[in-house]
Structure 1
Amino acid sequence: MNKKINIILASVLCSFNLMAQVDTLTIHKDKVVIDYGRNITHDAREVTGAVSTATSDKLSHKNSINATNQLFGMLPGLQVLQNTGAVWEDGATMYVRGMGTLNSKSPLVLVDGFERSLKELSSEEIESVSILKDAVATSLYGIRGANGVILVKTKRGSLTSPQINFSYEFNMATPKRLPDFVDGYTYASALNEAMKNDGSMPRYSSAELDAFKNQTNPLFYPNVDWVDETLRGASYGDNITFSARGGGKFVSYYTMLNFLDNRGILQPTGDNDGYSTQLKYSKLNVRTNLDITASPTTTVQLNLLGNFSEHNRPGTGVGDIFTAIYQVPAGAFPIKTERGIWGGTTTYGNNPVANISGKGYARSQTRALFADIHLKQDLAALLPGLTGGIKVALDNTAAYWDSNTKNFGYESAVLDLETGEKEFKTHANEGTLSYSKSVGSVTTHFNFEAYANLARKWGKHDLNATFMYSMDKIKSKGRNTGRAFMDVIGQAHYAYNNRYLVDLSLSGSASSILDPDDRWGIFPAIGAGWILSEESFLKNNWLNFLKLRASYGISGRADYDVNLFQDIYGSGGSYFFKNTPTSISGMKLTQLGVEGLTYEKSHKLNVGVDFKAWNKLSLAIDAFYDHRTDILVSGNNAVSGILGMSVPKANDGVVDNKGVEIALNWDDKISNFTYHVGGQFSFVRNKIIEQNEEYRPYDYLKRTGGSLNQLFGYEVVGIYQSQEEIDNREVKQYLGDVRPGDLMFKDQNGDNRIDDYDQVALGYNSTCPEIYYSFDLGAEYKGLGVYALFQGTGNYSKMLDTRSIYRPIVGNNTISTYYYENRWSETNPNGTLPRLTYSGSDNNYNNNSLWVADASFLKLRTLEMYYKLPEKLLKRTGFLGGAKIFARAHDLFCIDGIDIRDPEAIGASHPTMTQYAFGFNLSF
């Protein structure tokens, strides 16, 4: 087995780091084929474009419910970021070479050549993942290629005796960095302090504070740890896979059945009659891939995948559940009253435990069927080297919801005015389950392709040419949801004397989303390469390979809402005609269509070098520049507001995006010991050139000229310590009421007032980091192995605005221990966070530099230890061809500056998880 080894030495934020990347473009002694999709493949050594590939050997170090979570740090140029720990929506966000547009940044994802989601795939069925980054590769996808292309190939059969594989994996996941909120007594004290700071009377008396502190009457003065009461320590799951592959003279096959499930972290969920309210997710994948030799000149590929999944949750939406966990104070109300009725108040919202156990359940089921067939015909009888083919795909996905929900009754503590004692009052009675069923979504996708390939060699000349026609139709449930795409592609690859390389491509691409008169676009590209290691002046014993390459071309993007080019009419009020006593409704033009609506154009320039030496070291460097024009932006600031209707959008946006990617790899074998070290590093920076921005009087206020998703806000220069300091400061703040303990801001324009004109750029991009790197380390000795993958980011910022953690008390939120211990108060004038307030503070809780955090991090994404049984022992069994046992952990730790929240997911939502897996693989 050929192992890829990578080393990268890069400077990140002025420090030295060892980084790694798994498979990219690899040059082996044997021929390696790089797949561009579109039925175009090239010898890896002759590629002139920027393509990176990760194979199943590397991806297999981590199994994931969603295949996107296998790609962290795997491919140079691919930025992968985690959003949530919720497994049913656990797909990572992916960017190819950062962000180059003001609109959708999502890359095009193709599975076996057709546009499909990675969500439906299981980890086990993936053979390789490739990233197409430059114009030579992406121009082949015309109007859909500008954001990069991700190609996924599934496993196929082989011309060998049958090989049967079985694997089992037990998974356990623990929540990371759960919020730490104060107890009931501390919350009550903090609320009193906040109300005092606002100039109001405190809510709780000294006696009531003592009751909270001493827990003498926990029903009326409770102390409930809602995080501990609603979230258990771990979720659990299983992952079972059975697969078989093999083949003979006429048929080869790969078939797989994969089942996985996850039982979530909510509690209590088993106190209901006949149903569970646990967050549960299960998925079944059944795949069959066939390669059939129908005749000496005809082959047929048939791919079938059935995907079935089910998601069970409480009747309360998951977002509402975690909102309540993050919001309700420990002293708000008990879980249940002495009569066994849920505690609650109208002030603090729903009881978090009742949200889980008392509102019934909902269940969604999805099914997806993917089928495609590829007929390939050798046409050498007509013209030597000519082949042709037809590909047809039909996909159908649907989602269904079963809702079985109810309302729960609750009691709240009220004061009896006659006795002066508190008592519980019932506000609602327990409801019964109410059943409903609905269809969530139905999507049908049809694709047709026809192509012809010509491969000819004569003398020192090598020519490969492709002509292709493609048509896609996508229809979803609802009106005006259909989309269609059409592409006509010509591509030629020429090599002279195994060293001088040229790629030419030209594609015409159309979309039904665009105006019928402007639907077609032309996307040319050219690439060139020079394999210097083939030249006599560089022939030596240590240099294995050296190639220079460059490319330039255009690709497009038109991911718009449908019918933007059409005028929209709406209700125009009522009118009376002649003597008619009743009015008649009228219509009026409410939205002008976009005149000349066109697609985004991405002008891509790429230069690179590939190097390999000593049969151990490999290096790949790419520098790129992407100039994106005709980006669809708001037209509001280009047209007068007296128009009388919504202003149409316009293709006026321009964004530049440029960067560098480096991958340095090393692998070696010393006797029975093999090891590898590898890394990848990328730096990407974008700049908004034009976006029809509104007028701003100062240059530092302008978003144009800065990066996408750049944070803006006020620059904090201190905290006011006294009213005297507020009164004596020449600069006055007009953002809200200012009191001691409030933030002090810098006057940016020198007018002695703080207002909207004093906001400046803060930090870096808040969505996609400019620096993305990884390094992996692996070693194996006589079957005993270890593997580790680290992944990090730099030049990455987040706005800290999570409820209760960074925005306490206001809106009846609770307060985090972090905020309470670091707040400013009369007894803690050195506190770094502003004073507590109950009524709110527009001065403190706006976007400002205090809340902008450096979100750069370094995570241990994967750690695996495994043992492969030796061949001698396998032979003794008489039936085993291979056996491996393993223990894995994912996201074990994170080094960052935020500390109390995961920098990738700081919101009040399902926590991200540290995952542990134990399992085995057997082959027969």
Structure 2
Amino acid sequence: MLFATPIFSNALTSKVWFCSKTVKVTAFQQSEVHGSITDVNGIPLAGVSIMVKGTQKGTTSDFDGNYSLLADNNGVLVYSFISFKTREIPVYGSNEINVVLETDITTLDTVEINAGYYTVKEKERTGNISRITAKDIEKQPVSNPLAAMQGRIPGVYIQQQSGVPGGSFNIQVRGRNSIASGNEPLYIVNGVPINTEVITSNIGKSITGGGNPLSGIDLNDVESIEVLKDADATAIYGSRGANGVILITTKKGHVGMTRFDLDIQTGMGSVANKLELLNSQQYVMMREEAFANDGISPTTANARDLLLWDPNRYTDWQGELIGGTAYLTNLQGAVSGGSELTSFRIGGGLREETTVFPGNFNYQKASGHVNLNHYSEDKRFQVRFLGNYVSEVNGLPSQDLTSFIFLPPVTPKVFDDNGDLNWGPEGGTFENPYAYLLTNYVAKTKTFISNMLLSYVLLKGLEIKVGTGYTTADAQEVRTTPSDAINPAYLTFLKPESNFYDNHTKSWILEPQIDYKLNVGKHVFNALIGATFQQNTVEGQYTYATDFASDLLLEDVSSANTTRVSANYTDYKYQAVFGRLNYTYGDRYIVNLTGRRDGSSRFGPGNRFANFGAIGTAWIFSNEPFLKEGILSLGKLRASYGTTGNDQIGDYRYLDTYTATDYPYQGITGLHPTRLFNPVYGWETNKKLEAAIDLGFIKNRIQFSASWYRNRSSNQLVGYPLPSSTGFSSIQNNLAAKVENTGIELELNTINIDTDNFKWTISANISFPNNELLEYPDLENSSYAQIYEVGKSLGLERSFHFMDVNPQTGVYMFGDVDSDGAIGYPNDLQSLISLDPDFYGGIGNTFSYKGFQLVMFLQFVKQLGYDPLFSSGTAPGRTGNQPIEVLNRWQQVGDNTSIQQFTQSTASDAYTEYANSYYYGDNRFTDASFVRLKTVSLTYQVPKGILGNLSPEIYVQGQNLLTITSYKGLDPEYSGSLSLPPLRMVTAGLRLTF
């Protein structure tokens, strides 16, 4: 039989070339078939599965895309690879078959979604699970997984609260469920829960905002991040899934020749926006006008800036304190490879980031990870080990210097003629922010996360597993304040001091499981049962030390003559049994049942156990015979209902607790109570309901998903306030209140153009959340009467209603609800302002042309925020700079304006009304909506052959490049905060595999 090359398919299918040779086919004769496998751009595809159809014989392509195997001359080879079209090629006696695979736009049948204790095909999932992968993450120059998720996952609102390395984030999965308990989601890394308790003490909160438990995750090692949201997806995690579950899976080794991956990245960042503040001339004018308005003469006591400082001097404190350039250096490497039975991936990285603050401050992170996977010869036994170790050294200033940008522009020089800190004329008249640069703050954190999975297939479809995990997190913080950092005016009562904090967290988890799968005709059953045993232990010690003989001894606590020590210890234990039963009929009808019984040591005897469960259903109506033809490639209706719980209340709340007195009496240290006991409170419960539709058109070139959800959280766990006469501020208790979160989530993915050389895709999502307090018995008589209101959001802000500036007096006017002639708290609070976002989401475009790829992602949020006019914290006219908008103030009788007259006195009516506005007025809120060019990434893959066998990837990335907003402050994302905003970053890098 004779065959000649080439054989082509049409433009939308793969191309296959056979070698140009004459062959003689003999039935049942075997020959060695070899070849290479590439994508349409000529890039080798490693890990492609090549099987002899109808047999168990097969192999996979190596790193260079090459393969070889024995096959019958009349056999058929099946080439399959995730996200690529599966091809079947007859051998016909050929010895060489080279294959070009094209991207499969109908990958829903093959994409596996991590659902925690099990995996499920994207097409067959009944729960609401969103996902981003390494290809989305690697386009962003960020260090925290939460930053990589912003705007990309519907129903997940992430707010970056600080731009410093290792800074904090606020994250809510489908809103705020609890009035007072924790609202953090559950973080799972390779099957191991991560302790969400922040391991930094109050020492570091003034710079990092408390940090985030995911800052120690190496993003270059992350393969995918899944977010579980509805009851069907989260109920299997029971009490831990009330606020959603975030699953992080790291990269695994590949089958094939050993390869080395190297990623080198460098870049720089800066604050993207500056406030427009008063210059020196405008500032002096403001101060002089304020004294004139109040009828008070300036003196050296009340107007040092006018009488002692140089009025012609100008300092741009934004430029001085946050106007620098932060530099980033990131080096990551990994070696991977293996056979079908044993594969591995071992890697590590170094990351260093400096700051925009003056001085030599930096954040360093060193990481190492290992992933080993082994099967027995018969593939029945598997052992997998994953380990991740991260060491962080955070050498940042002890204070976020952003809070000092409102210093008067006429302040004295930072340093005197001798190079020492300048505290102003006549000593101590100037609070020099550079003093914080002399305080030495270092936080060292070491995190180790490990997981081992053992599994064995007892019978066909029956598998037993045991998952184990062990994690440790150690944090050491030291902050020293030398004499030079203390204002000389305060040396009579302030001394050099040191603060030490050591925190050690360790946890272990053991989860045995049995998994069974049975196929009976069109009926498919999947059953899973398991148990969880977990323990977390936290030990910490804080030491305050002062009265040192020398500043050189500040880091030696034993050299202090005065010390105060406090310690903490908690031991949390958790046990559970869980199960799942999944039934599928004819690839069309799916029912998923999950359940869990949890036990937590955070509750008293008799209340420690609770049951949670859910049911999820799906109808894949596109698989019905009458819809097999047409443009609809996927049509699925989903629904779920179930309960989850919450025990994020801290440990030992049901017991009396005591602590040592700060000062001994007659040489004896005493004890005093710190908490009242209450052993009867129980679990908080969250009932979740969802309905959704998933659609795919034109072979899934257009994919659309719409979800409606309703979550109701009841039996609220709160620290209920007590009268001060009891000696305690609160007691832990259940509250008969009910909180509801509802919302709509829409997601769209399209492949607009898909040719050999050019591809254009769009990914977009938008979420419309709503939070409401449904019930609160006797709210009007409770201590929360002025905080919450039934029918309104928990993010409610009660305020005086701003009327106008009185054109006769130049003072703010507010609505007088009780008509008593005065504006007072709380009777005149009437305006109800919600700071919850109205909607949020993102839209991304990806363009690929030959070896080039351009990614552009926009994030958007519709929300209210705090007006920057009130950010300085001082009334216009007092000591401190102000936004330029204050120049539109009231000046004379008859003026119509929204900004009152200048005042410098706390005794004036103008100051009183400003204070009302600053703390309670609704004019302190403004539109803080924004559209942000979150990510731009341009990548070029050098074709193989130009540099030999090397095919490096060169890239340029930008983050937070442009923000479109009417907000006048530093940044609208976390408005009202004087913390460093997210930086505008531009980086360049090189990825190389050899």
Q: Same fold (TM over 0.5)?
A: yes
- The secondary structure found in structure 1 opposite 2:945 is helix
| One of 543, 559, 562 as aligned partner of 2:651 | 562
- Distance in 2, matches of 1:411 and 1:398, equals 34
Amino acid at match of 1:160: G
Q: 1:440 is aligned with what amino acid? A: D
SS at match of 1:363: strand
Identify the residue that residue 680 of structure 1 maps to in structure 2.
Answer: 765
Query: In the alignment, is residue 85 of structure 1 matched against residue 167 of structure 2?
Result: no
CA contact (8 A) 1:240 1:260 kept: yes
- The one-character-per-residue Cα deviations of 1:567-587 (angstroms, maximum 9, x if unpaired) are 456899xxxxxxxxx999999
Contact 1:791 1:861 in 2 (8 A): yes
Does residue 633 of structure 1 match 2:684?
no
Q: Percent identity?
A: 24
* Counterpart in the other structure of 1:397: 473
> What secondary structure, in the 3-state scheme, does the structure 2 residue paired with 1:517 have?
coil
Q: Is 1:606 the equivalent of 2:672?
A: no
| Aligned match of 2:402 | 322
Paired with 2:784 and 2:499, the residues of 1 have a C-alpha distance of: 55
Q: CA deviation at 1:887?
A: 1.4
Structure 2 partner of 1:860: 933
Offset at residue 622 of structure 1 (A): 0.6
Asked if 1:252 is matched to 2:348, the reply is no
Measure, in 2, the Cα distance between the counterparts of 1:591 and 1:399. 27
**CA–CA distance in structure 2, aligned partners of residues 31 and 694 of structure 1:** 56
Please, which of 814, 837, 842 is the counterpart of residue 769 of structure 1? 837
Letter in 1 for 2:833: G
Deviation at 1:922, TM superposition (A): 1.4
Q: Is the 8 A contact 2:875 2:904 kept in 1?
A: no
Q: CA deviation at 1:855?
A: 1.7
Q: String of CA shifts for 1:839-884, please: whole Å, max 9, x gaps.
A: 23232233212111122211110112222223xxx1243331x322
Per-residue CA distance 1:148-184 (angstroms, 9 max, x = gap): 0011110001212223211111111011223443334
Measured against aligned partners, the alpha-carbon deviations of 1:431-470 in whole angstroms (never above 9, x if no partner) come to 99x8968453111111111101001101111011100111
In the alignment, the residues of structure 2 paired with residue 398 and residue 376 of structure 1 have an alpha-carbon distance, to the nearest angstrom, of 31
Q: CA deviation at 1:757?
A: 1.8
| CA shift for structure 1 position 526 | 0.7
Amino acid at match of 1:839: S
Task: Say if 1:354 and 1:347 are closer, same or farther in 2 by CA, change over 3 A.
Answer: closer
CA distance in structure 1 between the partners assigned to 2:347 and 2:329 by the alignment: 16
Cα deviation for residue 671 of structure 1 reads 3.9
Question: 1:522 and 2:584 equivalent?
Answer: no
Shift in CA distance, 200/778, structure 1 to aligned 2, threshold 3 Å: same
- The aligned residue for residue 171 of structure 2 is 94
CA root-mean-square deviation: 3.4
Whether the 8 Å CA contact 1:494–1:503 is kept in 2: the answer is yes
Counterpart contact for 1:63–1:123, Cα < 8 Å:
no
- Give deviations 1:476-534, integer Å, cap 9, x for gaps: 11434221211100111100111111011110011111112111110021111111011
TM-score where L is the length of structure 2: 0.78
Structure-2 residue corresponding to 1:781: 849
Aligned to 1:68: 146
The alignment partner of 2:405 has SS state of helix
2:324 corresponds to: 233
Match of 2:112 in 1: 33
Cα deviation, 1:109-146, whole Å, max 9, x if unaligned, reads 11111112421112211100111011111111111110
Q: Does 1:119 align with 2:219?
A: no
Structure 2 equivalent of residue 548 of structure 1: 637
Instruction: Note if 1:355 corresponds to 2:423.
Output: no
Aligned residue in 2 for 1:308? 391
Query: In 2, distance between residues paired with 1:305 and 1:312?
Result: 23
Q: Secondary structure at the match of 2:681?
A: coil
2:422 to 343, 346, 354: 343
Say whether the 8 Å CA contact 2:447–2:473 is kept in structure 1: yes
Residue 627 (structure 2) aligns with:
538
Q: Is the 8 A contact 1:598 1:651 kept in 2?
A: yes
Amino acid at match of 2:858: F
- What amino acid maps onto 1:399 in structure 2? A
Whether contact under 8 Å (1:191, 1:202) holds in the other structure is no
Q: In the superposition, relative to structure 1, how do residues 694 and 650 fare at CA in structure 2: closer, same or farther (>3 Å)? A: farther
Q: Check the 8 A contact 2:957/2:987 in 1, yes or no.
A: yes
2:953 counterpart of 1:888: no
Aligned equivalent of 2:792, options 697, 701, 706: 706
Q: Find the counterpart in structure 1 of residue 362 from structure 2.
A: 280
Take 2:509 and 2:266, find their aligned partners in 1: how far apart are those partners?
A: 38
1:469 aligns with 2:531: yes
Instruction: Check 1:644–1:698 CA distance in 2 against 1; reply closer, same or farther (3 A cut).
Output: closer
Counterpart CA distance in 2 for 1:333 and 1:309 is: 37
Pair 1:178–1:239, CA change in 2 (3 A): same
Q: Aligned to 1:491, which of 580, 583, 597?
A: 580
Deviations 1:635-675 (A, max 9, x none): 448xx887676553321131011111111111130341100
Q: Report the equivalent of 2:506.
A: 444
Aligned length: 828
Q: Compared with structure 1, are the counterparts of its residues 677 and 197 closer, same or farther at alpha carbon in structure 2 (3 Å cutoff)?
A: same
Counterparts in 2 of 1:175 and 1:618: CA distance versus 1, 3 Å? same
Q: Does the Cα contact within 8 Å between 1:800 and 1:806 map onto a contact in 2?
A: no
Contact 1:463 1:492 in 2 (8 A): yes
SS at match of 2:794: coil
AA in 1 matched with 2:972: P
Q: What pairs with 1:696-845 in structure 2 (closer than 5 Å)?
A: 703-722=789-808, 740-749=809-818, 753-755=822-824, 756-765=826-835, 768-798=836-866, 800=868, 803-804=871-872, 807-810=875-878, 812=879, 814-826=880-892, 829-840=895-906, 841-845=911-915
**Residue 849 in structure 1 maps to residue 928 in structure 2:** no
1:649–1:427 distance in 2 versus 1, CA, 3 Å: closer
1:671-708 Cα offsets, whole Å, 9 max, x none, are: 41100112101111011123463439999996232101
The 3 A distance-change label for structure 1 pair 180 and 37 is same
Q: Distance in 1 between matches of 2:514 and 2:601?
A: 26
For 2:552, the equivalent position in structure 1 comes to: none
* Deviations, residues 248-305 of structure 1 (Å, cap 9, x unaligned): 13310112211111121122x3xxxxxxxx2200101111101012452211101111
Residue 62 of structure 1: SS of its match in structure 2?
coil
Contact 1:290-1:302 within 8 A present in 2 as well: yes
1:621 counterpart = 2:706 = yes
Deviations 1:312-346 (Å, cap 9, x if unpaired)? 134xx223x333x2343122322233454422157
Q: 2:183 matched to 1:183?
A: no
Match of 1:367 in 2: 446
Larger RCO, structures 1/2 (Cα 8 Å, 6+ apart): 1
Q: Distance in 2 between matches of 1:551 and 1:29?
A: 21
The range that moved more, 61-70 or 521-530, is 61-70
Mapped partners of 1:143, 1:194: distance in 2: 57
Aligned counterpart, 1:110: 188
Q: Does 1:904 align with 2:973?
A: yes
Q: Distance in 2 between matches of 1:618 and 1:253?
A: 35
| Contact kept? 1:700, 1:760, Cα under 8 Å | no
Could you give the per-residue CA deviations for residues 202-253 of structure 1, whole angstroms, max 9, x where no partner exists? 3489x999x99xxxx9869643333333344311111111122221133101
Distance 1:556 1:334 in 2: 57
The unaligned stretches of length 5 or more in structure 2 are 1-38, 40-80, 85-104, 195-212, 541-567
Name the amino acid aligned to 1:858: V
Secondary structure of the residue that 1:757 maps to in structure 2?
coil
Letter of the 1:627 counterpart: R
Going from structure 1 to structure 2, the CA distance change for 1:411 and 1:404 (only over 3 Å counts) comes to closer
8 Å CA contact 1:786–1:864 kept in 2: the answer is: yes
Distance 2:523 2:109 in 1: 20
Code of the residue aligned with 1:279 in structure 2: it is F
State TM-score, norm by structure 1. Answer: 0.83
Aligned residue number for residue 386 of structure 1: 462
Please, which of 205, 224, 232 is the counterpart of residue 136 of structure 1? 232
Q: In 2 relative to 1, CA 497–883 (structure 1 residues): closer, same or farther, beyond 3 Å?
A: same
- The answer to whether the Cα contact below 8 Å between 2:231 and 2:641 also exists between their aligned partners in 1 is yes
Matches of 1:65 and 1:348 in 2, distance apart? Answer: 41
